[in-house]
Every structure is written in C-alpha cells, then in structure tokens.
Amino acid sequence: MAYTAATGEQFTDDDVRRWAQEAENGFPDSTVEWVQGRAWEGKRQPLTAKSVRAPQAVWKLVAEKAALEGITESEWVRNALIRAALA
C-alpha cells in the first residue's frame, strides 16, 4: 500500500518494514547528535522573563559568544545560568 506523509513524501509498506528493521538494528548507518536538555525539568515548562542588569560591555560579550555558538543571546544566558546553578 502507498502512503503520503505530512510533508508530501510518498512511502510504502516496504519502507515501513525497512525502517522498522533499521530501528531493531539500532540505526547502524546513522549519526546521533547530542542535544542539551533541561536537566532540572522532567518536561518542558514555559519560560519566565526576568530582568538582569549588566554593563553594556557584558551584553556585548554575550552577543559575541551567542553568535559564535549559533544560538540566541537568551539561550546563551539561560545556558550560563544553568551551568552556574548546577556547579
């Protein structure tokens, strides 16, 4: 039988069987990328905005570090707070 995914991609029962076998084999030809989770949360919680005052030079450093890591400044600050709180 043929199916259509939400993305519009077509697949068949044979594809599903192949994917199931790959899963059973532990996805041997796949690369798993580590993603940092939220160690203190069992499930996703809404984010709460808080105001933090810091010199402009500090915010410039935050912006530079966040850009280097390819994340938003908010995410960078959040990660820094988590590291400090868990240390």
Provide the residue ranges of all domains of the chain, joining segments of one domain with +. 2-27+52-86
- Other beta carbons within 10 angstroms of residue 82's beta carbon come to 14
pLDDT band for 42, please (50, 70, 90 cuts).
low
Question: How is residue 76 written in tokens?
Answer: 């960078």
Q: What is the mean pLDDT of residues 65-76?
A: 92
Q: What would the two tokens of residue 18 be?
A: 């192949």
- pTM exceeding the 0.75 threshold for the entire prediction: no
Q: Per DSSP, what are the bridge partners of residue 11?
A: 3
**In sequence order, what E strands does 1-87 have?**
2-4, 10-12
37 pLDDT above the threshold of 60: yes
Amino acid identity of 67? A
Q: Name the band, by pLDDT with cuts 50, 70 and 90, for residue 27.
A: confident
Residue 63 in tokens: 């912006």
**Region 46-60 average pLDDT:** 90
